[in-house]
Structure formats: structure tokens, C-alpha cells
Structure 1
Amino acid sequence: MSDSPEINPWRTLSSNQVYVNPWIQVEHREVIAPTGKPGIYGVVHMKNKAVGIVPVDDEGHTWLVGQYRYATECYSWEIPMGGAPHDEWTADAARRELQEETGLIADELSELMRLHTSNCVTDEQGVVYVARMLTQVGWNPDETEELKVRRLPLQEAVSMALSGAITDAISVAALLKIALQHPEWLTQSEQG
């Protein structure tokens, strides 16, 4: 085992692509584990970055998007999000996804966090933004999406993340980070 956590202790002996589509590539790898033992590893390479947006208005409200998720076979409430090809600025993708899914445009967009979504099997990276100074325009969801959009107090969305009513990892992480960094936003809807 390596004493330095910055040095990759895994050794790849072979890598074979076993599946590919426009969104993912799956590889089967023969490896030597950090313990020195031979093993196998499956890696899902994502062809896009995940981009999430937490819109927050002047009244302390946010928007959630609801949809049935095919892979998990359940309905999911989430922050607005989508994908950005690796050569696209994530802020541009965030603005596009916010407008497509909620009909909102933001005059102010700031990065909240970066994260890996499931780093044991995928290389997916996520970037989350906070959108402020919002204007409602028309929305235009993707042709494969059947969405419900809900405006609610930010505090209620945070409570949903804490209670397990929101289970999407990016949404939970983003809402909890906002609650820690901006507790004043949670009380705006109570005051207004």
C-alpha cells in the first residue's frame, strides 16, 4: 500500500469498452488493487458534466422539478439540472437548463460547489450554481421530459432534503450547503 494518498495505488492491466451510447461509455478493466491482489473494475464514463441550479428569489423561494426517473423506478423531486458537454462552459449550460426546466432566467449566477456524483463506479463530475435576480419567461423542457415544476420556500426544500423526500445526491448536497452558507435565505419567506 502507498503511504501517499495523492499517488494512484491502482494498476490497470487491460481496459475494454463493453458498451457505448451518446451519454455513457462502460469499460471492463482488469486491475491490480492497492493491496496487490488482482481484480476487476467496471467504470462508467459520463460524456457530460452534471449541472445543477438552485434558483433563489428575493422572497426566499426556490423551484424544484419533479419527474419519474427510469433508472431508479421512482418519482423524484430535484433542483433543476441537466448535462453539459465537456467542451461547454458549465455556466452556459446552467442558464440553458434553468430556462428549459423552470422558465426562469437569472441575472446573477454564482458557483456553489463541485462534486463527484458516485465516485466508486463513475467519473461523473457535477457543478452546482445559485441563480439569483430571476425573471419568469417561457419554459421549454427536453422532448423526453415530462416535468412538474414547483415553487416553494427554500426552507421547505431543505426540509425535504433532510427528511429523505429528496434523494437525488446533487440536490441534497446543494440544498444542505445553501442552508449552511446562507441561513438568512431560509427565513426570508417567513418574513415576507
Structure 2
Amino acid sequence: MNNLEEKTLHSEEIYSGKIITLELHEVELPNGKQSKREIVKHPGAVAIIALTEDNKMVMVEQYRKALERTIVEIPAGKLEKGEEPASCARRELEEETGYVCESLELISSFYTSPGFSDEIIHVFLATGLTKKENAAAMDEDEFVNLEELTLKEALQYVKEQKIYDAKTIYAVQYLQLQEALTTK
């Protein structure tokens, strides 16, 4: 055990839902004292930076109940049990936007909220987009509006808090960095 590790003494599942499971863990702290941790278990997710031929980001505007508002995001979705992230990214891109891609590259993976959740998100760059006529249908409880934004427009959306989630801000800043690196 390293000097920061918390040893789980007991864990209990409090809730199991369609997307998440909530567990309560009793832990022993590095100093020998005990504490409780509420942990959200999540199967993981993907997010897609989808770029059109004219270098616009394909985005979805979606109502987020937890926020009680709509925000504009990059396409994303939850991994199904046993599903590879790249397969999930292709599926979610088609379901949410109607686009399929020629090229799909993993950019990065990161934990969204490690203080209380094990959710990991895999961010992909999709290029060579083609709009599919008979695209896979969205989930029955999912409703989105499509938007295609230039980097400048996306940066303005961040300022206006229309883009307000970490994965999408990450995507916008990733593209901004790539642009800066190629113009040097």
C-alpha cells in the first residue's frame, strides 16, 4: 500500500440504474482513521471531434436535465458492455449526427470526475465525413439539433456558455492548439 492509498473495508451498492451504479465505501485512510466514500460506477464513454471537409466541428445541441438547459456538445455516448471504444465512437457518430467517417483516431482518454466517479471518456478525431442517407436511429429518449461550427464560432460559444461541458471545451481547445501548432 502506498502512502496515499485508501483501503476499502466494506462496500455496498446503494443504487443501480440504466447508466450508473452508486456505491458507498467505508475506507481506511493512510493515517489509520476511517471515512466513507460515495462512488459512481460508470461503464465509460466516447466523444467524437468530427470535422467536416471545410473544417467545421459537427456538434449536437441537447437538453441536459441535470443542468435544466440545453448545451452544445461534441457527439458522445456510453460504452455498451464489452464494446470497443472505436466501435462505440463510430456508432455514436452515426446515431447522433447521421455522419460516418473514413478515419478515426484516438486523441486521449481521461477521467471526468475522479473525486467521485470512475467514468473514463475516450476522445476521438473523426475525419473524411460522409452524411449517410439511412443512418442508424438515435436512442428513443434522445433528441438533438445538429450544428456545424468553425473554431471561431465554437470559441464564441464557450464564452457565451452555450458550450459548457468539459469534453467539448477540451475538444475546442485541442483544435485551437492544433491550429496554433500548424501556423507556426
How far off its partner does 1:143 sit? Answer: 0.8
- Among all aligned residue pairs of Structure 1 and Structure 2, give the percentage whose two residues are the same amino acid: 33
Aligned to 2:21: 25
State the partner residue of 2:75: 80
Q: 1:111 to 1:159 in 2, by over 3 A?
A: farther
Aligned to 1:190: none
Q: 1:158 aligns with which of 131, 155, 159?
A: 155
Which one of the candidate residues 39, 44, 50 is aligned to 1:49? 44
Q: What is the number of residues matched between the two proteins?
A: 181
Amino acid at match of 2:5: P
Residue 61 of structure 1 is matched in structure 2 by 56
Does residue 97 in structure 1 map to residue 92 in structure 2? yes
The Cα shift of 1:137 comes to: 1.5
Shift of 1:185: 8.4
1:87 alignment partner, SS class: coil
Does the CA-based 8 Å contact 2:151-2:175 persist in structure 1? no
Aligned position for 1:38:
34
Q: In structure 2, list runs of 5 or more residues that go unmatched.
A: none
> Given the superposition, is the C-alpha separation of residues 31 and 184 from structure 1 closer, same or farther in structure 2, using an over 3 Å criterion?
closer
Q: 2:129 is matched with which residue?
A: 134
| Structure 2 residue matching 1:30: 3-state secondary structure | strand
Contact 1:78/1:168 (8 A) holds in 2? yes
Residues 63-121 of structure 1 show CA distances to partners (whole Å, capped at 9, x for unaligned) of 11011111222211100011112511111111111111111110011111101011111
Matching residue within 162, 178, 181 for 1:181: 178
1:121 aligned partner: 116
Where 1:173 maps in the other structure, the secondary structure is: helix
Q: Secondary structure at the match of 1:178?
A: helix
Match for 1:80: what amino acid? P
Q: Normalising to structure 2: TM-score of the pair?
A: 0.89
Alpha-carbon distance, 1:154 to partner: 2.7
Give the direction of change, closer, same or farther, for the CA distance of 1:39–1:184 in structure 2 (3 Å limit).
closer
Deviation at 1:60, TM superposition (A): 1.5
Identify unmatched segments of 5+ residues in structure 1: 187-192
Partner amino acid for 2:88? A
Distance 1:158 1:110, change over 3 A: farther
In 2, the alpha carbon distance for the partners of 1:36 and 1:176 equals 42
Q: TM-score, normalised by structure 1?
A: 0.85
Residues 133 and 184 of structure 1: is their aligned pair in 2 closer, same or farther, counting only changes over 3 Å? farther
